[in-house]
Chains A and B, each alone.
Chain A
C-alpha cells in the first residue's frame, strides 16, 4: 500500500469516528467585552485613588499591601529568607509562543522593550506562563543565576494564589503602570509561596525573587523579576502590548 492510499484510508476513517456534534455555540451566553473592560479599569482607578490617600500615612503603607495584595498576589511577613539559587531552574515545561498565547487565551503580549525571550515555560501549578531572558551586557544577572529577567503571566484569579513572604528590609511601593495599579517590591530577596498542583497543600518553597514589579493588564497579572531598578522595570512593563 502506498502513502497516498494510506492517506485516503485515514480520511475515510475520519468519517467513521465518533466525533462530538452538539451545537455548543447556541449554549453560549456572551456579554460584550469592551464595556466590562471599562468597568474594570474604572474600578482599579478608584482603588488607586483610595490607596494614594492611605499611603500618604507612612505607617499604613505595609498594612495596605498586606491587606489588599494585587492580581492574585498577597503579602505576608517573615524574618529572613535563605537563598537557594537552584530553585530558579524549575520553571515548568518548555512551550512555544503560540502555546503560551493559547494557555492565556491569547490576551498576553510581549514587552517590546526587550528582545524575544530565550525560553518560554508553562507552570501548571500556577496556570502561568513563564518567560525567561538570559543575563547579558544590558541585563544584569538575578542573584547568583545567569538569568536576567523572569516574566510570569497568569490569569488574574478571584482569590489570591501567590503569597510573598517579605523579610525585613524589603520595601513595597504602589506604582501606576499605564494608569493601572501596580506594586514594586525591592530590597532583600524574598520568597514566593504557592499552592501545589493538588490544591490542598498551600506552602511549597519556590523561587527567590530579586526586584519585582507586579501589575494587571486586561484579565492577566504580570510579574517581572529582575535586578533592574524601578524606572527600567516600568519601562519594560509599559511596553507590553505596544
Chain B
C-alpha cells in the first residue's frame, strides 16, 4: 500500500504542471466516489454524470493553482459537490428527488432462500426510507460516511464542518435512524 500514495503524489505534481494524462489518471482513480457524491446531491443518475463531468473540467482548469502536498480527493470531491449544489439550487421549486435502489429480481435458487432475499430487500427499502426522513444535518453526514464511504476527515472537509461535529452527528444520526426504523415497525 505504500506505493500508492507516492504514485498519486507524482501524478498530482505532473497534473499541476498541465500534464493531461496524469490528471486523467487522478480522475479515473476517484471517478467512482465522485459520481456517488454527485448522485447524493442531485439524486438523478444522468444529471449526476453531467455534474461530475462539468466538475472534472473545472478541476482541470483549477489544477495549476492546486497546492501540491494537500489532499487531492477532498479537493476534487468539494468541486463535484458544489457543482451539484449549484444544479439543485437552480431547480429548487421542483419536487425533491429521492435516492433509488437497483431493481432486484429474486430468482428461485437465491441463497439462502428466495424468501430471505425478499425480506432483505424489504429491510433495505425501509432503511433507505428512514435515511431520507432524517433531518438534513444528520442525513448529510450519514450518507457521506456510510453510503459514499468517506472517512470522517473527508466528510468534514466536504461538508465544511469540524471533524468532531461529523462524529457527533453520525452518532446522533444513527440513534435517530434506529428510532425511525422502530417507529416504522410498530
A10 touches B147 (CB 8 A): yes
Bitwise interface map of A from 14 to 29 toward B, beta carbon under 8 Å scored 1, else 0: 1011111111110110
**B2-10, B47-55, B108-116 - interface stretch:** B47-55
**What residues on B are CB-neighbors of A106 within 8 Å?**
59, 62, 65-66, 75, 78-79
- What is the predominant secondary structure among interface residues of chain B facing chain A? helix
Contact A18 to B100, CB < 8 A, known contacts A34-B18, A103-B82: yes
Are B171 and A3 closer than 8 Å at their CB atoms?
A: yes
B1 interface residue (CB < 8 Å to A) = no
Contact B35 A19 (CB under 8 A): yes
Q: In the complex, what's the smallest C-beta–C-beta distance from A120 to chain B, in angstroms?
A: 10
Distance in Å from the Cβ of B64 to the closest Cβ of chain A?
A: 5
Query: B123 near A22 (CB under 8 angstroms)?
Result: no
Q: Are B56 and A24 in contact, with the CB atoms below 8 A?
A: yes
User: A3-B171, A10-B127, A17-B102 known; A124 and B78 CB under 8 Å?
Assistant: no
Residue of B17, B56, B74, B89 near A124 (CB, 8 A) is: B89
User: B45 — which chain A residues lie within 8 A by C-beta?
Assistant: 18-20
Identify which of A96, A101, A102 gathers the most chain B CB atoms within 10 Å of its CB: A102
Whether B64 pairs with A37 at a CB distance below 8 angstroms is yes
B 168-186 contacts with A by CB, 8 A = 171, 174-175, 177-178, 181
B-chain residues with CB within 8 Å of residue A98 when the two chains form the complex: 74, 78, 157-158, 160
Residue A143 interfacial (CB < 8 Å): no
Cross-chain contact B147 with A13 (CB below 8 angstroms): yes
B27-85 residues with Cβ-Cβ distance < 8 A to A are: 27-28, 31, 35-36, 38-39, 45-46, 48-49, 52-53, 56-66, 74-75, 78-79, 81-82
Q: Is the CB of B59 within 8 A of A1?
A: no
B166 interface hit (Cβ, 8 Å): no
The chain B residue sitting closest to A29, CB to CB, is B57
A59 at the interface (CB under 8 A from B): no
- In the complex, the answer to whether B35 meets A99 with C-beta atoms within 8 Å is no
A24 touches B174 (CB 8 A): no
Q: Which residues of B contact A66 (CB under 8 A)?
A: none
Residues of A within 8 A of B181 (CB): 1
Q: Are B53 and A28 closer than 8 Å at their CB atoms?
A: yes
- Cross-chain contact B174 with A30 (CB below 8 angstroms): no
In chain A, residues 90-141, which have Cβ atoms closer than 8 Å to a Cβ of chain B?
95-99, 101-103, 105-107, 109, 124, 127
Q: Which residue of A lies closest to B42 (CB)?
A: A20
Number of interface residues of B (CB under 8 A): 64
Cβ-defined contact, B79 with A24, below 8 A: no
Query: B56 to A25, Cβ gap below 8 A?
Result: yes
Q: Are B79 and A10 in contact (CB under 8 A)?
A: no
* Residue A9 is within 8 A (CB to CB) of chain B in the complex: yes
The complex places the Cα of A44 from the Cα of B167 at a distance, in Å, of 48
A18-B45, A24-B52, A24-B56 given; A10·B82 CB < 8 A: no
Q: Which of B28, B61, B62, B171 contacts A25 (CB 8 A)?
A: B28
Residue B101 interfacial (CB < 8 Å):
yes
A53 within 8 A of B: no
Task: Name the B residues within 8 Å of A20 (CB-CB).
Answer: 35-36, 38-39, 45-46, 48-49, 52
With A17-B100, A20-B45 known as contacts, the answer to whether A102 contacts B78 (CB < 8 A) is: yes
Q: Are B57 and A28 in contact (CB under 8 A)?
A: yes
Contact A24 B49 (CB under 8 A): yes
A36 to chain B, nearest CB (A): 9
Q: A25-B31, A218-B65 are in contact. List 13 more A-B contacts (CB 8 A).
A: A7-B146, A9-B127, A14-B148, A17-B147, A19-B36, A22-B35, A24-B49, A32-B19, A32-B20, A99-B82, A106-B65, A124-B89, A241-B65
B interface residues with partner A (beta carbon < 8 Å): 17-20, 23-24, 27-28, 31, 35-36, 38-39, 45-46, 48-49, 52-53, 56-66, 74-75, 78-79, 81-82, 86, 89, 99-102, 104, 121, 123-124, 127-128, 131, 142, 146-149, 157-158, 160-161, 171, 174-175, 177-178, 181
